């Protein structure tokens, strides 16, 4: 178990604040007690709390591509990363770690946001493409790994747990009507939460943020029976 946090200001002229993303990350120390890492540049901030499992020496995050134009923070595991790594090597890609995180980066370089179609695993990740000025959030097909987000104060904020969004400053405005749903269903269906501003990224969905526009897309669903 690891934890990811971050945000992007829609105003390109409003720089991200390291102290804010650090505060968000500190709420998830229980998810990743082994290490922490940050990326803060211009209007984007990403944070990662790591529980070291794979590639103990070179698997730290955030992880970058060769020219640091792409950066990712990732919670989960790509089960078929060895097979994907071999496929990408045949396409001419070089690898510098043995981690599944690097496979996500190279897969994105090759297939763009369609890379998530090729992953077999459980994941929640955030990938920033500096060249395209695009933030890409993805959650696995059945939602095993959590990812919450809010569009608040002219920013998109995300985190593995809601407490990291509260640390950003998202208000705790409760939706009392949701309590009735919870008592009937004993759960709160995605994308809803108890809080007005916070949503769960639905299983099998991704979010693309570009030029201040937020698009949530479905990339997978159960087949019709």
DSSP 135-146: EEEEE-TT--S-
Looking at every residue in the chain, the average pLDDT score rounds to 95
Q: What burial letters (b/e) apply to 114-129, b meaning 16+ CB within 10 Å?
A: ebbeebebbbbbbbbb
DSSP 151-218: EETTEEEEESSHHHHHHHT----B-THHHHHHHHHSS--TT--SBSSEEEPPTTEEEEEETTEEEEEE
Model's pTM, two decimal places? 0.94
Active site residues: 2
Q: Which of 149, 190, 188 is nearest to 170 (CA)?
A: 149
| CA–CA separation, 155 and 45 (whole Å) | 11
The per-residue pLDDT for range 136-188, each reduced to its tens digit, is: 999 999 999 999 999 999 999 999 999 999 999 999 999 999 999 999 999 99
Q: Evaluate if residue 197 carries a pLDDT over 80.
A: yes
Q: Evaluate if residue 105 carries a pLDDT over 90.
A: yes
| CA–CA separation, 85 and 106 (whole Å) | 8
Lowest mean pLDDT among 8-22, 47-61, 109-123, 134-148: 47-61
**Region 109-131: what's the mean pLDDT?**
98
| CA–CA separation, 153 and 169 (whole Å) | 9
| CA–CA separation, 193 and 187 (whole Å) | 10
Name the phi and psi angles at 207, rounded to 5.
-125, 135
- Sign of the Cα torsion 36, 8, 215, 202 reads positive
The per-residue pLDDT for range 28-66, each reduced to its tens digit, is: 999 988 889 999 999 999 999 987 665 556 568 999 999
């Amino acid at each position: 178990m690891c934890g990811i946090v971050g945000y992007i200001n829609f105003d390109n002229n409003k720089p991200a604040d390291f102290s804010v993303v650090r505060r968000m990350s500190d709420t998830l120390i229980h998810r990743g007690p082994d290490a922490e890492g940050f990326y803060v540049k211009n209007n984007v901030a990403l944070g990662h709390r790591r529980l070291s499992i794979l590639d103990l020496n070179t698997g730290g995050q955030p992880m970058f591509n060769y020219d640091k134009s792409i950066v990712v923070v990732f919670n989960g595991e790509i089960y078929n990363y060895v097979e994907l790594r071999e496929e990408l090597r045949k396409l001419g890609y070089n690898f510098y770690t043995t981690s599944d995180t690097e496979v996500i980066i190279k897969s994105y370089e090759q297939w763009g946001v369609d890379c998530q179609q090729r992953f077999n695993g459980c994941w929640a990740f955030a990938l920033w493409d500096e060249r395209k000025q695009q933030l890409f959030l993805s959650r696995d097909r059945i939602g095993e790994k959590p990812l919450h987000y809010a569009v608040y104060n002219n920013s998109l904020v995300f985190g593995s747990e809601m407490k990291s969004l509260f640390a950003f400053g998202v208000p705790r405005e409760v939706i009392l009507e949701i309590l009735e749903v919870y008592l009937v269903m004993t759960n709160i269906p995605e994308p809803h939460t108890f809080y007005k501003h916070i949503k769960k990224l639905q299983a099998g969905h991704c979010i693309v943020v570009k030029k201040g526009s937020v698009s949530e897309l479905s990339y997978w669903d159960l087949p019709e029976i």
